Structure 1
Amino acid sequence: MNPQTQENLNEYRLQKLVTQIDSDSAELAPLPILTTYKLKNNGIIYHTVKSMNWFYHLPVIAKLVVVIVGFCVSFAMLQAALKLIASVISMALLAGLVYLGYNFFVAGNNS
């Protein structure tokens, strides 16, 4: 882009801002959180910012409900993970006991 076109574009934007400021409209548009750069649609940062924007624009009651439901879901996932770990440990102990029992009782009779 040549400098003259860039200068015209900047002047147009400045003029547009001046007319917007001078207008008697008391209505203000909400500013987005990220205005300095564009994010890719498939990045984790994009989804995090999108979720945060969604959360911050919720009413207070809805925020409270989202936090409570998120806590319950997180607690259920943690509980399921701990049960899975306990099951794996129990299965490993049972397999060890079966192996020892086989060695003492079945394999010991063959000799």
Structure 2
Amino acid sequence: MHEVSLVASLVDRITEVAAREGFSRVIKIRLRVGALSGVEPLALEFCFSEVVKGSVLEGANLEIERVAPELICARCGFVSTPEDAADLYCAHCRSGEIEVRRGREFNVVDLDVV
């Protein structure tokens, strides 16, 4: 479960920001997680409270904004949002020549701090 290492990395980065910006605690963290990011939101939620113990994130509310994939076909230009993230083909012409416009995100949207 690589989500544990992702949360640990978030703790490290946010701890650095806290020291630089002068806040002592995070009340809420909002993440944006794309369906094609390889990150499982349920696994993040499962490990979050354990991994953040003893850090500025301990007790923080975790909110996850899930981002559906958006694909554009290089062949015909059709834009689609497949329901199945594994369906990386054009819904119009079935070409595999697609560009992922959205859905690979894994980032912090915002923090509520004190």
TM-score, normalization by structure 1: 0.19
- Between structure 1 and structure 2, the one with the greater Rg is 1
Relative to its length, the structure with more strand (as a share) is: 2
Larger relative contact order (CA 8 Å, sep ≥ 6): 2
TM-score, normalization by structure 2: 0.19
Relative to its length, the structure with more helix (as a share) is: 1
